[in-house]
Amino acid sequence: MIKADLAQIVYQRHGGISFAEAKDLVELILGCVKKSLVSGENVKLSGFGTLNVVQRKGRLGRNPQTGERMKLPSSRYVTFRPSRLLSF
């Protein structure tokens, strides 16, 4: 599923808006989620799951081409934990 598919579903379910408005609505929602994650906030979507921002500590690594040791900086990444309602 892609964003256009979500916009199509919103357009079909909500009879009073145009497809362009449905696309804008999907973009707005995803933009808000993205903004929250970038700022370090977790996002909980009830009945779907939680997007958690996790901080990875810096560590020592190796350059695979030269074998040279190098320091890898700390970084953040996002994990998804599904809701219990999404049991497959």
CA distance 66 to 29: 45
- Give the pair of three-digit tokens for residue 53: 């921002």
Does the pLDDT of residue 31 top 90, yes or no?
Answer: yes
Concatenated DSSP letters of 17-45: S-HHHHHHHHHHHHHHHHHHHHTT--EEE
User: Stretch 1-7: mean pLDDT, rounded?
Assistant: 94
- Give the pair of three-digit tokens for residue 83: 């809701």
pLDDT at site 88: 65
pLDDT (tens digit per residue) in 60-80: 999 999 999 999 999 999 999
**41-88 topology per CATH:** HU Protein; Chain A (4.10.520)
Question: What predicted TM-score, i.e. pTM, was given to this entire model?
Answer: 0.77
Query: What are the domain boundaries of the chain?
Result: 1-39, 41-88
